Amino acid sequence: MLESLKNDVCLANLELKTSKLIIYSWGNVSGIDRNEGIVAIKPSGVSYDTLTPDDIVLLDLEGNVVEGKLRPSSDTPTHLELYRSFQTLGGICHTHSLNATVWAQACRPIPCLGTTHADYYYGEIPVTASMTNDQIETEYELNTGKIIVETFKNLDPDQMPAVLVANHGPFTWGPTPAKAVESAVVLEQVAEMAMKVAALNPDLKNTSQKLLDKHYLRKHGKNAYYGQN
Amino acid sequence: MLESLKNDVCLANLELKTSKLIIYSWGNVSGIDRNEGIVAIKPSGVSYDTLTPDDIVLLDLEGNVVEGKLRPSSDTPTHLELYRSFQTLGGICHTHSLNATVWAQACRPIPCLGTTHADYYYGEIPVTASMTNDQIETEYELNTGKIIVETFKNLDPDQMPAVLVANHGPFTWGPTPAKAVESAVVLEQVAEMAMKVAALNPDLKNTSQKLLDKHYLRKHGKNAYYGQN
Amino acid sequence: MLESLKNDVCLANLELKTSKLIIYSWGNVSGIDRNEGIVAIKPSGVSYDTLTPDDIVLLDLEGNVVEGKLRPSSDTPTHLELYRSFQTLGGICHTHSLNATVWAQACRPIPCLGTTHADYYYGEIPVTASMTNDQIETEYELNTGKIIVETFKNLDPDQMPAVLVANHGPFTWGPTPAKAVESAVVLEQVAEMAMKVAALNPDLKNTSQKLLDKHYLRKHGKNAYYGQN
Amino acid sequence: MLESLKNDVCLANLELKTSKLIIYSWGNVSGIDRNEGIVAIKPSGVSYDTLTPDDIVLLDLEGNVVEGKLRPSSDTPTHLELYRSFQTLGGICHTHSLNATVWAQACRPIPCLGTTHADYYYGEIPVTASMTNDQIETEYELNTGKIIVETFKNLDPDQMPAVLVANHGPFTWGPTPAKAVESAVVLEQVAEMAMKVAALNPDLKNTSQKLLDKHYLRKHGKNAYYGQN
C-alpha cells in the first residue's frame, strides 16, 4: 500500500547520503499521507546502501505498525508527535549534520545573518531547552517531539521549517519528504556560514526585519516573484 | 538570436555547480552583447541539472524581454544596472558562495593579505553599505545595483572585479561570463584564506602597496609577463 | 593461513583511504584471531593502491612474524600491547585523521557535547599523558601501548573504543577490524564537531549523565533498542 | 632531450591538480638533471587540463631556454636560485595551497606540534622575512629565491623540505619532482592541523626534541626503520 509515499520516503532518505549530511545509518526521513493518516519512515539502523522502498515502515499516527517487516526508526515517536501537532507537515527529516549539530550542541539558536538564511527561514532557527532528567528517563523520543512543539508555541512551522534540539541535532520539515531534506541541506549551509561570521564578528546581530521580509516573502507566500510560478 | 552568447551564459552558469559555488538553483550568471545592447541571463529558479541554452532569457538594457519563454532571474535589475554603469563588463556572476558570503554577512571588506589576492584584485574587496529600509522596500534589486555602483565611485571595476553586498553575498564580473565565474571561484578562495589568517593574526594588515603592484601588474596591463601572451 | 582474517584486515585498511582518514601510506589496521593467538597487520610503508591480503603480515602476540614477506607496521608493538591488555579487542586502527589528531596535539580530551558522541562513546575521549624522554628513547612503540593501557586503568575499553595519544593521534578499536575503522570515522566527526562547539562556546560542558546514558545505552548493551536486533 | 625528466615534471604538475592543491593554472613544479645541469619546468599560465611533457620548458641554471616553444613559469628564477644554492634538490614545487598560504600570509612559522609534522620536517617550518620594496622592485622572483636561501642559513634543506614565503605561499622540494609534490601535500595537512590546534590551545609549544628526533629519525637517515628498505 501507499507505494508512491514509500518510494518518495526512500528517495528522500537516500538523498541524505548523496548530500553528505549523514554517514553509516545515521539520520532518517519520513513522509505522511494525510488522507490515510499513515506515516512512512526509514527502518532503524539499516544501511543506505541497500535501502529500498520495500524496507520503509508504515505506521498510523499512534505508532502502530500497519506494514513492514522491519522495526521503524528509533526516532519515530518524535516524528509522530510533530505530525500530530503541526498539521501542514508532509515530511520530516532528522540528521546529525556537522554544522547544524554544532549549534545544537552549543545550545544556541542560529541568528539570521543574511539573505541566504532569509530566503528559507523567517527568523532565527530556534533551539529547544535542554531536556530534563525526567523527560529523558521515560518516553525520551516522544518528549523530544513535545519539547520541539513547546519551542514553537509562538512560531509558525510553515515559516520556520527547522529546529535544533539542544545537545542533539536538527529536525527539519516541509510539505514533502524531499522538501524536508532540502531544508536540512540549506540549514547545514546556513549553520556553517553563521559559525564563520561569528568568528569574524562575535557581536552577531540579526539582519533588519525589512531585509528578512523582503527575501523571505519574495520566495514565499502570495506575493512571491522568485521562480517560474 | 545570439546563440553564441546564450551558449556561453549557459556554460558559465553550469560552471557554478561544477565549481561547488552553489546548490539547488541558487546563483546566476549573465553576459552581454555590447553591439546589440542585449543581455542574456539565467531564468529564475530553474535547476542546473536541466538548464540548456534555450532556457536563457534575452533582455534589452531597460529590462524588456526580447526572447525567452521563462521569467529571468529575480536579480536581473542588479545585473542591468551594473552593465549600464560599468561599460567594460562582458559578464556578471552572483552566488552565495560560503566564505565570500560570510564576509558579506560580517559587513567587512576582504583585506589584501597576500599574493593570491593581489594576482586578481587590485586592493581590498569592497563591501557595500547596508541597504536602508527605503532601498529595500521598492525596487530592491535595482537598488542593489545602485549601491554597488555607489561603492565603486573611487574604484575601477576592471581592476576590482568583485564586490560584497552587505548582509547578502558577492557579485563578480569580467570581460566574459566565464571570467565572471572565474572571479567568483577565486574570490571564494581568497575569502577563505583571509578568514583563516584573521584567526591566526586578528590584527590584519594589507600587504605592502609594492607587493600588490608587483603581483597585480605582472598579470594585468601592458607590462604583464605572466602566461603566454 | 587465516585467509579470512587477512582479507578482513586488508579491506579495513583500504577503508581508511576510502573514508579519507589517511593519505599516502599513513595509518594501519590490525585484527586478531583469539583462538590462534595470531595478529594480522598492514606492512610498513606500503601504498594502499597496491595492498592485497597477501601483503598482510601475521605475528604472534610476542611479535614473532609467523607469515609474510614484508616488514610489519612500525606501530606493531603498540597494537600487540593493546591486544594483550584488552582481551575483548578484535581489531585496532591507527590514523592521523585531521580533527582527532588536532585534539591529540592539543593534549586535550574530547568532551561529550552531544548525542552524536554519546551514541558511540560512553564519556569523554581520553588523552594519554605526554611520553617522557625515557619512554620515547627505548621501545617507543611498546611504550605507546603501555601509556594507553595506563590511561584506561579506570575505563572499560569496550565502552570507550578510542584514545588520543598526546602529541600524536588516535587509536581506535572494536570487536572486528571493520568496527575499529568505524570508530575512527566516527571519532573524526565527533572531534570536528567538538572543535567547532569550542569556538562558539569556549566554556565546554559535558552533556548530562542522563542523556549520555540514554543515547549510549539505547545502542549498546542488553537494553539496546536501536537497529534490527 | 631528457624525455624522462620532462615526463616526471609533467606528472608531478598534474598531481598538483589531483591533490587539490591548486585551481586553474596556479602553481608549478620543476625538476633537474644534475649531470646535464638542465632544469625542466611548467610553462607559464598553461592549463593543467591540456599539459603534456612536450610543453615542459628546459633551461640551464642561468635561465637560458634550451628547449621548448612556451615561456617558462614566471617563478622560474626562484627555482633556479634554489637549485644553485641547495645542491641536493632534485625537484621543487610552488603552490598557493590554502592552509600553508594562510600561515605564509600570517607571516608565522608552523610550529612542530606533533608526530605528523615530525615524520616529515625536522623542526618548525620557517617563514621568510617580508620582502623590502627594493627586493620587490627589481628581479622580484630571483630575490624570492635569495630570501629563501637567507632563511636557511642555519637550516639543512634536506631535513626541512619546505618554506613559507611571507605574504605569499609555500615552496617545497625533495630528491625528485614527485617528492617535492608529496612535501606540498603533507605541508598542507600539517598547516591545517596546526591552525586548528592554535584555535584550541593558543599557547602553542613545539613538541619535545626527543619526540621530534624519534619520529623524524625513524623515517629518515641511517637508523630509519619505517617502510620496507
Nearest CA in chain D to C69: D228
**8 A C-beta contact, residue A96 and residue A169:** yes
Q: D interface mutation test: which of C57, C69, C73, C102 has the most D CBs within 10 A?
A: C102
Residue among B159, B166, B28 at smallest CA distance from B92 = B28
- Inter-CA distances, C186 with A38, B169, D193, Å: 34, 34, 18
pLDDT for position C13: 98
Q: Percent of chain D scored above 90 by pLDDT?
A: 95
Residue among B58, B79, B69, B41 at smallest CA distance from B2 = B58
Residue A100: Cβ-neighbour burial (10 angstroms; 0-12, 13-18, 19+): buried
- Reported as a single tens digit per residue, the pLDDT across C87-119 is 999 999 999 999 999 999 999 999 999 999 999
pTM: 0.97
- Which residue out of D33, D55, D119, D158 is catalytically annotated? D119
Residue among D205, D62, D220 at smallest CA distance from D156 = D220
From B44, B104, B108, residue closest to A227, measured CB to CB: B44
User: What gap in Å lies between CA C84 and CA C76, rounded to an integer?
Assistant: 12
**8 A C-beta contact, residue C224 and residue C218:** yes
pLDDT for position A1: 82
What single string gives the DSSP state of each residue in chain B? --HHHHHHHHHHHHHHHHTTS--TT--EEEEEETTTTEEEEPBTT--TTT--GGG-EEEETTS-EEE-SSPB-TTHHHHHHHHHH-TT--EEEE---HHHHHHHHTT--B---SHHHHTT-SSPBPBPPPPPHHHHHSSHHHHHHHHHHHHTTTS-TTT--EEEETTTEEEEEESSHHHHHHHHHHHHHHHHHHHHHHHH-SS--PPPHHHHHHHHHHHSSTT--SS--
pLDDT for position C229: 75
Indicate yes or no: CB of A228 within 8 angstroms of CB of B70.
yes
User: What gap in Å lies between CA D171 and CA D29, rounded to an integer?
Assistant: 10
Q: How many helices (H) and strands (E) does chain C have?
A: 8, 7
pLDDT for position B76: 98
Residue among B125, B123, B163 at smallest CA distance from B144 = B163
Determine the residue type at B185.
V
Which phi-psi region, left, alpha or beta, contains residue B139 (left: φ > 0; alpha: ψ -120 to 50)?
left
- Which residue out of B33, B119, B140, B158 is catalytically annotated? B119
Position A151 confidence tier, pLDDT thresholds 50, 70, 90:
very high
Residues of A in contact with C182 (CB under 8 A): 24
B-contacting chains (≥3 CB pairs under 8 Å): A, D
pLDDT for position C202: 85
D134 is catalytic: no
Classify domain B3-217 by CATH number. Answer: 3.40.225.10
From A185, A210, A225, residue closest to B136, measured CB to CB: A210
Min Cα separation D197/chain B (Å): 11
pLDDT for position B45: 92
Enzyme catalytic residues of C: 119, 226
φ, ψ for residue A167, nearest 5 deg: 65, 10
Does ipTM exceed 0.85?
yes
Among B93-97, B116-120, C203-207, D45-49, the minimum mean pLDDT is found in: C203-207
At residue C113, the 3 state secondary structure works out as coil
Q: Percent of chain C scored above 70 by pLDDT?
A: 100
Cell matching residue C198? 569550542
φ, ψ for residue A125, nearest 5 deg: -75, 120
Number of residues that make up chain A: 229
Q: Percent of chain B scored above 90 by pLDDT?
A: 95
**8 A C-beta contact, residue B109 and residue D89:** no
pLDDT for position A205: 87
Which DSSP state fits A70?
Answer: S
Residue among B120, B73, B75 at smallest CA distance from B218 = B120
Min Cα separation D215/chain C (Å): 10
pLDDT for position D202: 85
Min Cα separation D183/chain C (Å): 11
Cell matching residue D31? 625538476
Indicate yes or no: CB of A105 within 8 angstroms of CB of C189.
no
D226 is catalytic: yes
Nearest CA in chain A to C186: A23
At residue A220, does pLDDT exceed 80? yes
All residues at 6 or more sequence positions from B49 whose CB lies less than 8 Å from its CB, including other chains: none
Residues of B in contact with D195 (CB under 8 A): 196, 199-200
Q: Percent of chain D scored above 70 by pLDDT?
A: 100
**8 A C-beta contact, residue B78 and residue B145:** yes
Residue B208: Cβ-neighbour burial (10 angstroms; 0-12, 13-18, 19+): middle
Whether residue A189 lies within 8 A of chain B, CB to CB, comes out as: yes
Q: Residue B117 pairs with which residues in a beta bridge?
A: none
φ, ψ for residue A89, nearest 5 deg: -70, 135
Cell matching residue D144? 624570492
Residues of B in contact with A114 (CB under 8 A): 101, 104-105, 167-169
Position A121 confidence tier, pLDDT thresholds 50, 70, 90:
very high
Greater confidence, C205 or D165? D165
Which phi-psi region, left, alpha or beta, contains residue B185 (left: φ > 0; alpha: ψ -120 to 50)?
alpha
From D189, D201, D210, residue closest to C133, measured CB to CB: D210
Query: What 3 state SS string does D122-155 have?
Result: CCCECECCCCCHHHHHCCHHHHHHHHHHHHCCCC
pLDDT for position D100: 98
All residues at 6 or more sequence positions from D28 whose CB lies less than 8 Å from its CB, including other chains: D13, D41, D42, D73, D75, D79, D93, D94
Whether residue C206 lies within 8 A of chain A, CB to CB, comes out as: no
pLDDT for position D66: 97
Position B55 confidence tier, pLDDT thresholds 50, 70, 90:
very high
Helix or strand run (H / E) with residue C92: strand C91-94
What does the radius of gyration of chain A's CA atoms come to, in whole angstroms? 17
Q: In chain C, what is the straight-line distance between the N-terminal and C-terminal CA atoms, in Å? A: 32
Cell matching residue C48? 594502499
Position D172 confidence tier, pLDDT thresholds 50, 70, 90:
very high
- Inter-CA distances, D108 with B205, C159, D111, Å: 14, 41, 9
Whether residue B185 lies within 8 A of chain D, CB to CB, comes out as: yes
Domain positions in chain D are: 3-217
> At CA A30, angle to CA C191 and CA A88, rounded to 5?
115
Min Cα separation D189/chain C (Å): 8
- Reported as a single tens digit per residue, the pLDDT across A200-214 is 988 888 999 999 999
Indicate yes or no: CB of D98 within 8 angstroms of CB of B192.
yes
User: What gap in Å lies between CA A223 and CA B9, rounded to an integer?
Assistant: 29
Whether residue D24 lies within 8 A of chain B, CB to CB, comes out as: yes
Whether residue A152 lies within 8 A of chain C, CB to CB, comes out as: no
Helix or strand run (H / E) with residue C79: helix C76-85
Arithmetic mean of pLDDT over chain C: 96
At residue A229, does pLDDT exceed 80? no
User: What gap in Å lies between CA D135 and CA A106, rounded to an integer?
Assistant: 49
What single string gives the DSSP state of each residue in A182-207? HHHHHHHHHHHHHHHHHHH-SS--PP
Instruction: Read off the pLDDT of each residue in A130-135 and give the average, rounded to a whole number.
Output: 97
Residue B3: Cβ-neighbour burial (10 angstroms; 0-12, 13-18, 19+): exposed
